[in-house]
Amino acid sequence: MQYLLLIYHNEQESATRSQSDTVDMRGEYRTFTDSIAKSGHYKGGNALQPANTATTVRVRGGKRQATDGPFAETREQLGGYYLVDANDLDEALGIAERIPGARWGSIEVRPVLQIPS
């Protein structure tokens, strides 16, 4: 079963992080990604550019509308994600709690819908 782990953080707070802290954090993420790749949980994942680089697209009445900004303004913004394989929710929550960003932001754990073929 697959779960998408959505990593939310406050971009304004993260922007004030010192350069050496940023280097440390990247190291922590690398170590974490390696460990879940080795254990066979890792299916994919990326960090994202800040929310102010987002563009939202809707098609209404056959016409495309593109607007600047993310879908919703929230206190914490989506900053990255992992796609993981796990036996059940407990295993997925166990992986989520080890994501470095869980210590300052929040991780939303969403089961991936399995569509019968």
Partner 1 sequence: MTAGLDQEIGRLYRTESGRILATLIRLLGDFDVAEEALQDAFGVALEQWAREGVPANPRTWLVSTGRNRAIDRMRRDARFVSRVEEIDAGALTADAGADAFENESGIEDDRLRLIFTCCHPAIAPESQVALTLRTICGLTTEEIARSFLVPVSTMAQRLVRATGKIRAARIPYRIPPSSELPERIDAALAVVYLVFTEGYAATSGDALIRRELCGEAIRLGRLLVELMPSVSETSGLLALMLLHDARRDARITPEGELVLLEDQDRTRWNRSQIDEGTRLVEASLRSTRVGPYAIQAAIAALHAKAVSATDTDWRQIAALYALLLERAPSPVVELNHAVAVAMVDGPERGLLLLDALGARGVLRDYHLLAAARANLLRRLGKTDAAIRAYEEALGLATLEPERRFLERRITELRLHDSDRAPARS
Catalog residues that contact partner 1 under the rule CB under 8 A: 1, 87-90, 93, 109, 111, 113, 116
DSSP state of 51: G
When the beta carbons of 20 and 117 are compared against partner 1, the nearer one is 117
Residues 6+ apart with CB under 8 A from 108: 5, 6, 8
- By beta-carbon proximity to partner 1, the closer residue of 23 and 112 is 112
**Least distance from C-beta 88 to partner 1, angstroms?**
4
**Residues whose CB falls within 8 Å of the CB of residue 114, separated by 6 or more in sequence, listed in order:** 1
Residues in the chain: 117
| In the complex, minimum distance from the CB of residue 36 to partner 1, in angstroms, rounded to a whole number | 18
DSSP-derived 3-state class of residue 107: strand
Of 49 and 87, nearer to partner 1 (C-beta) is: 87
Residue 6 beta carbon to partner 1: minimum distance, rounded to whole angstroms: 14
Residue 90 CB, shortest distance to partner 1, in Å, is 5
Nearer to partner 1, 48 or 112 (CB): 112
Task: Report how far residue 9's alpha carbon sits from residue 105's, in angstroms, rounded to the nearest whole number.
Answer: 4
What Rg value do the Cα atoms of the chain yield, rounded?
Answer: 16
